[in-house]
Amino acid sequence: MRRRLLLLAATFLATPALADTSATGYGGPGNVLNPSGLGPDRPRDEDGLSPLTDGTSRSPTGLLYPIPFRTPEMTQSESDPDWWSSGWIEAGLLGTFGQDTKSAMLNEYGDWRSGGVLNFGFLAENRVTALYLSAQAENVGRSDQFYQVKIGRYGVFDLTAYYDSIPHLYSTTAKSLWDGVGTDTLTLRQGLTPGASTAAQVNAVAAAVGASDLAVTREKAGTSATWSPDKNWELFVKASNEWRTGTQPISATFGYPFQNGATQIIEPIHYQTVDVSSGVRWKGDNIQANLTYSGSFFRNGSDSLTWQNPGLNNNPNPNSFIPTVGQLSLPPNNDYHTLKGDFAWVVSPDLRIAGSLSESLMRQNDNLLAPTADSGVIEGAATRINLNQWNTAAALVRPSADAAIDIFNAFAQVHYTVSPSVNVSFELRDRDEKDLTNYLAYNPQTGQLGYIAIDGGLAAFNPAMSGVYETTVAGSNVQYRNMPFANSNLQMTASGGWRIDNHLKLDLSLSQNEIDHTVREVPNADDDIAKISLAATGYSWGTARLSYQFARRTGSDYESNPYTPYYTASLPGYIPATPAGDQAFALADLRKFDVANRTEHKVRAQTNEILADDLDLQVGGDATIEDYDAQYGLKSTTSWDATTSLNYQVSNATSLTGYVTWQTQNRGVANINPIGTGPNPAAGGPVYPLAAAWTETVGSHDVTFGATFRHSWGAFQFDADYTFTHSDTGVNYTFASTAAFFSLLTPAQAGSAFPDITYDAHTLQATLRWQITDTLSTRFLYRFDYEQLDDFHYTGLTAGAISNNTYLGVVPENFVAQTVGMFVQYAF
């Protein structure tokens, strides 16, 4: 933390006087006690926006403006009358009570620990030179603290420096079988033997070890500066440095399910991301232009995770190879550069042209790990793999990744006003992506193509899946090259707007999007989109908006296996698994939804009704229906939601709001279990018989209810906020026969549905504020939190061994908790 603050100070001092108000990835600051980030805490102004209006004030769409906050007055300096200032300091105590106060779900993104709370800030400005200085600090010393300092001259330059901390707590119940948590090397605890432990031993160690937290803290320090030498020019530069440190759960396996087991382990997180951005903006009367460079540089303090394998397995052959250690690559260091130029030109009152060009480069060239961390020899019926020839960098065809992607974007828009009530526009959007990565899996030591699958854990059970291309073995079909996926789009849109009268506007648009995929099942696709929307605004009764969009994606013939060129089956001399050919790669009748044909309907409607001068009713909803024209794979999705909300501004002192949102989402999936052998990929064939077909549907229903109440009287202000969320997801399935799954289960054991995934959350927060004197105030906070999550993935899961797999015991941590707080603020 101290290092972070020193770095913050250094970046603050080193950066020239500029500021930018458009940071990406930093929209704050804020935290759970102050989500809006407004400081100091202050009452609303009971005079409202204006005593001249007869009641409330609304936005042009008709939404009620809330009552503004009262802004503290500034004090003139006695020593230098040009300077005025105001400040505040608030200190308090927070107490969180209940049996589940440490719950990872309660503390997922916020610091609700009992303890002290300190906030402060100030603003000073010179009313002659227009210089100003401000600072704000919230939740000092807590894991969700933030700080911000600004220096500037109104209308000329702004320099901002900030530090923000975001906690992310994953679990408080993790029981690690390994020592070395937080490092890149995990060694089994005493009582366990690498590659030779039993389930009983695993459970004994899991029972004995204490639970520990898995959490990551994201700390970001940055500075931004903007300088406007005149009203037309703006220059800016930004820089930030983000650290993510901690641990999070991760898993990795040593073989197929029911062969060598999977292990839930703990990943060390030592991420650092440096972002820089700089640019210039011209804001002329008829011509505007932006030119921006952005760079992002990600660094990972751990490039790999190595861990010892407990060795649980269901291997009937006692002499088969069981890996004793595994090695997992972690996110590699990478660099990202973007140069972007935007342009807008009002050619005439009727004609406007806008455009954008950008080129982005993504680069990654980390040193590669060896194909395995294990040693020993794997003896097979027809093969022999000496892992000692695969577990060093000498087994690599090149030492580093040399991975690269280039992306070019171009956007052009022409807007023409045909008549006072009609306008048309044309847009072209071109995206061209190139994946330049070219990797060959080849071991110079052995002269073999391929790799070592799962540190050798597959080889003993499935020699053809060892990862090593055995040229004399039938069916040794191994992926030996990377697949350079790339997507390019060319989208052309024509649209028109018709102002029917002063209130009604109708918009129509037609769009064609040509999509090219490199190495996908559909090389070329067209996405045709038509949209109509109607806006009815400025009526005395309110505003309404309605839109409908239809989209139809069609493409070239679907090829269920476009990946052969990247497998050894494409090489001369390859021996197929059978004389008839290799095993079918994929179900030919399945359609991958992200590239396959799709028909989509989207409807959206919203109205804001002004029921009375002080009362709004908002009703809205949307529906999306997607049909993927597929017998197998994702077949369809539907979703719809509806919201009703009321906003009642009783007076400047009292307001009440409430809303209810309903949501439903459904999707249907079908597939066939490949129980047969042979090259025929068709549904109903020997590989994918219809007797092994199954379907699954996922249906979610959500309800969210929220209400707020605010009332001020005299020196007191009371705020209350309640939110309730309920979701219920059912996952149901049907199957033609037990061939759809491991037929060791009976239909009765398989059932027809999983237990519903349900989530209920209640949050009630009430605050009473007392303005004791002009400078002294206090507030009392009460908060009730409840969350209950039931997810079948975790029901009954405990730390230890389940079959031949080991788990940490990371499960949802339901909670009931109450928080009280008292804060005293002094303003100066």
Q: Rule CB under 8 A: which of 140-179 touch another protein? A: 144, 153-156, 164, 166
Task: Count the residues of the shown chain that bind another protein, applying the rule CB under 8 A.
Answer: 258
Q: Pick out residues in 741-770 that bind another protein (CB under 8 A).
A: 741-742, 744-745, 749-751, 753-754, 757, 759, 761
What is the distance, to the nearest Å, from the Cα of residue 80 to the centroid of all Cα atoms in its chain?
50
Q: How many CB atoms lie within 10 A of CB 186?
A: 24
Over its C-alpha atoms, the chain yields an Rg (Å, rounded) of 31
Q: Pick out residues in 243-302 that bind another protein (CB under 8 A).
A: 249-253, 256-258, 261-262, 264, 271, 273, 275, 281-291, 296, 298, 300
Segment near another protein (CB under 8 A); pick from 172-180, 201-209, 414-422, 568-576: 414-422
> Is residue 828 near another protein by the rule CB under 8 A?
no
> Is residue 419 near another protein by the rule CB under 8 A?
yes
> Is residue 372 near another protein by the rule CB under 8 A?
yes
Q: For residue 402, is it left (φ>0), alpha (ψ between -120 and 50) or beta?
A: left
Nearer to another protein, 310 or 497 (CB): 497
Q: How far is the CB of 182 from another protein (least distance, A)?
A: 17
Q: Pick out residues in 687-716 that bind another protein (CB under 8 A).
A: 687-688, 694, 696, 698, 700, 702, 704, 706
What is the distance, to the nearest Å, from the Cα of residue 101 to the centroid of all Cα atoms in its chain?
26
Task: By CB under 8 A, name the one of 182, 341, 376, 576 that touches another protein.
Answer: 341
What is each CA distance from 338 to 364, 567, 781, in whole angstroms?
15, 34, 46
Q: Pick out residues in 638-677 that bind another protein (CB under 8 A).
A: 641, 643, 645, 659, 661, 663, 667, 669, 671-674
Query: C-alpha angle with apex 378: 373 to 383, nearest 5 degrees?
Result: 125
> Is residue 60 near another protein by the rule CB under 8 A?
yes
* Cβ-contact 746, 738 below 8 angstroms: yes
Task: Give dist(CA 67, CA 695) in Å, integer.
Answer: 54
Task: Give dist(CA 284, CA 620) in Å, integer.
Answer: 39
Q: Identify the three-state secondary structure at position 612.
A: strand
Task: By CB under 8 A, name the one of 85, 537, 599, 664 that touches another protein.
Answer: 537
Segment near another protein (CB under 8 A); pick from 5-13, 187-195, 725-733, 819-827: 725-733
Say which amino acid occupies 325.
Answer: V
* Cβ-contact 157, 131 below 8 angstroms: no
Task: By CB under 8 A, name the one of 1, 77, 97, 109 that touches another protein.
Answer: 109
Q: How far is the CB of 190 from another protein (least distance, A)?
A: 26
> Is residue 581 near another protein by the rule CB under 8 A?
no
> Is residue 592 near another protein by the rule CB under 8 A?
yes
> Is residue 207 near another protein by the rule CB under 8 A?
no
Task: By CB under 8 A, name the one of 39, 222, 268, 689 that touches another protein.
Answer: 39
* Cβ-contact 269, 169 below 8 angstroms: no
> Is residue 508 near another protein by the rule CB under 8 A?
no
Q: How far is the CB of 62 from another protein (least distance, A)?
A: 5
Nearer to another protein, 6 or 428 (CB): 428
> Is residue 346 near another protein by the rule CB under 8 A?
yes
Task: By CB under 8 A, name the one of 91, 473, 802, 820 that touches another protein.
Answer: 802
Q: Which residue has the tokens 């048309």?
A: 424
Task: By CB under 8 A, name the one of 205, 225, 344, 449 that touches another protein.
Answer: 344
Nearer to another protein, 190 or 212 (CB): 212
> Is residue 216 near another protein by the rule CB under 8 A?
no
Task: By CB under 8 A, name the one of 4, 30, 182, 814 that touches another protein.
Answer: 30
> Is residue 41 near another protein by the rule CB under 8 A?
no
What is each CA distance from 803 to 319, 578, 799, in whole angstroms?
20, 34, 12
Task: By CB under 8 A, name the one of 219, 516, 626, 813 that touches another protein.
Answer: 516
Q: How far is the CB of 681 from another protein (least distance, A)?
A: 9
Task: Give dist(CA 146, CA 338) in Å, integer.
Answer: 29
User: Listing from the earlier edge strand, what are the strands of the sheet with 185-188?
Assistant: 178-179, 185-188, 304-308, 325-329
Q: How far is the CB of 543 from another protein (least distance, A)?
A: 8
430 CB-near residues (< 8 Å, 6+ apart): 408, 409, 410, 411, 489, 490, 491
572 CB-near residues (< 8 Å, 6+ apart): none
Task: Give dist(CA 318, CA 321) in Å, integer.
Answer: 9
Q: Name the residue among 244, 249, 246 with its Cα closest to residue 218.
A: 244
399 CB-near residues (< 8 Å, 6+ apart): 367, 368, 393
Nearer to another protein, 6 or 611 (CB): 611
Task: Give dist(CA 16, CA 239) in Å, integer.
Answer: 12
